[in-house]
């Protein structure tokens, strides 16, 4: 499980060797973290805006100010979340 979380973290940060994910094209950074999480949640999880997972992810982004870091963290937490595992 830790390896899955680590992979999600590295994928979100674009640090998986040999794998380039064009996050900028597919998921542009957002100034509003709430909008970012809702968009990512819908794309990656098909999650409703009021889901518990999205709420937790959004709260965690409050510690980050850089929109790119926010996007990386959001991707990592959503792809590494139990909700994604279930799907």
At its nearest, how many Å lie between another protein and the CB of residue 81? Answer: 5
At its nearest, how many Å lie between another protein and the CB of residue 2? Answer: 4
Where does this chain bind another protein (CB under 8 A)? 1-2, 4-6, 9-10, 13, 15, 53, 56-57, 60-64, 69, 72-73, 76-77, 80-83, 85-86
**What angle is formed at CA 48 by the lines to CA 20 and CA 11, rounded to 5 degrees?**
15
Alpha-carbon span 9 to 50, nearest angstrom:
23
At its nearest, how many Å lie between another protein and the CB of residue 75? Answer: 11
CB within 8 Å of 19: residues ≥ 6 apart: 11
């Amino acid at each position: 499980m830790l390896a899955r979380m680590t992979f999600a973290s590295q994928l979100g940060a674009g640090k998986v060797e040999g794998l380039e994910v064009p996050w900028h094209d597919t998921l542009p950074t957002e100034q509003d973290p709430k909008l970012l999480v809702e968009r990512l949640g819908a794309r990656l999880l098909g999650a409703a805006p009021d889901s518990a997972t999205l709420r937790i992810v959004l709260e965690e982004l409050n510690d980050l100010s850089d929109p790119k870091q926010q996007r990386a963290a959001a991707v990592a937490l959503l792809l590494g979340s139990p909700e994604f595992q279930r799907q």
